[in-house]
Amino acid sequence: MKDIDVIAVLQDPVRRRLYEYVAAQGREVGRNEAAEAAGVARTLAAHHLDRLTEAGLLESGSRRLTGRSGPGAGRPAKVYTRARVERSVSLPARDYRTAAELLAEAAEEAGLDAGLCVAARRRGESLRGAAAPCGDLAEAMELLAARGYEPHLEAGGEGEDGQGDREAVVRMRNCPFHVVAERFPPLVCGMNLALLEGLIGTDGPVRTRMDARPGECCVVVEASKNNEH
């Protein structure tokens, strides 16, 4: 199925609500949960979820939602997650991905990492304009969401030393540069960090840092230790 046909599958409003809900969770979602979130009957939700799977927008599997195993644990239920395949449509046809990969390859071979980061930080500052650095994590999440990073707040917990509490951080389920970052991770992840430093600010109440996790953006946002009281 061509990308334009895949994207057309989302034209149905119920189907689109279901897709957006599953995509936003960052985990497996069962039919009952998806149906309730979309405000439709389970049978209708199942039909649309399977249609999204057939189109390659979702991936499906099965597991016991009770968390139990063995006799009496119930039958496995069908669950869905967002597919990792990227879809795009350009009319007329354009191929910016190849250009980006060629430029990244040339920059890496020439050792232009530092210069790229300077340019990325400058671009982030330009995008922020005259606005002050982000005042809190909520403001940072708004900025990140507007640029397609799909931020979500991860609650704090026990620190690595087993003492004290780890502060909450903002993680991002999507990397807008995912395809190029997979081929040139140090170069592109460094560029991404510099871009977000410029966008969010480095001398305000929040800061950015690298903390790579499989399937997510390599950058996280947290309260700046320099601004703790």
pTM of the model: 0.83
Question: How confident is the model at residue 218, as a pLDDT?
Answer: 95
Q: Look at 75 and 132; give whichever has higher pLDDT.
A: 132
Q: What is the pLDDT of residues 26-74, one digit of tens each?
A: 899 999 999 999 999 999 999 999 999 999 999 999 987 666 565 555 6
* CB distance 30 to 65 below 8 Å: yes
Percentage, residues of the chain above pLDDT 70: 90
Backbone φ, ψ for residue 61 (5° rounding): -155, -165
Question: How confident is the model at residue 69, as a pLDDT?
Answer: 61
Rounded Cα–Cα distance for residues 204 and 134 (Å): 6
Residue 163 has pLDDT above 80, yes or no: no
Q: State both tokens at 66.
A: 């009770």
Question: How confident is the model at residue 229, as a pLDDT?
Answer: 42
Q: Which residues contact 209 (CB under 8 A, 6 or more apart)?
A: 193, 219, 220, 222
Q: State both tokens at 56.
A: 């390659």
Rounded Cα–Cα distance for residues 80 and 89 (Å): 24
Question: How confident is the model at residue 66, as a pLDDT?
Answer: 63
Q: What is the pLDDT of residues 82-134, one digit of tens each?
A: 998 889 889 899 999 999 999 999 999 999 999 999 999 999 999 999 999 99
**pLDDT confidence tier of residue 140, bands split at 50, 70 and 90:** very high
Residue 78 has pLDDT above 70, yes or no: yes
Work out the number of other CB atoms within 10 angstroms of the CB of residue 50.
15
**SS (HEC) of 24-77:** HHCCCEEHHHHHHHHCCCHHHHHHHHHHHHHCCCEEEEEECCCCCCCCCCCCCE
Average pLDDT over residues 208-219: 93
Average pLDDT over residues 75-85: 91
| Element (DSSP H or E) covering residue 137 | helix 137-146
Is residue 186 reached through a cis peptide bond, with omega within 30 degrees of 0 on the bond before it? no
Average pLDDT over residues 137-157: 92
Question: How confident is the model at residue 70, as a pLDDT?
Answer: 56
Q: State both tokens at 149.
A: 């990073």
- Look at the alpha carbons of 161, 164, 170, 174 in this order and tell me if their dihedral is positive or negative: positive
Rounded Cα–Cα distance for residues 91 and 83 (Å): 24
Q: Look at 145 and 224; give whichever has higher pLDDT.
A: 145
- DSSP class of 165: B
Mean pLDDT of the chain: 91
Residue 172 has pLDDT above 90, yes or no: yes
First to last CA, the chain: 55
Rounded Cα–Cα distance for residues 225 and 156 (Å): 15
Question: How confident is the model at residue 225, as a pLDDT?
Answer: 74
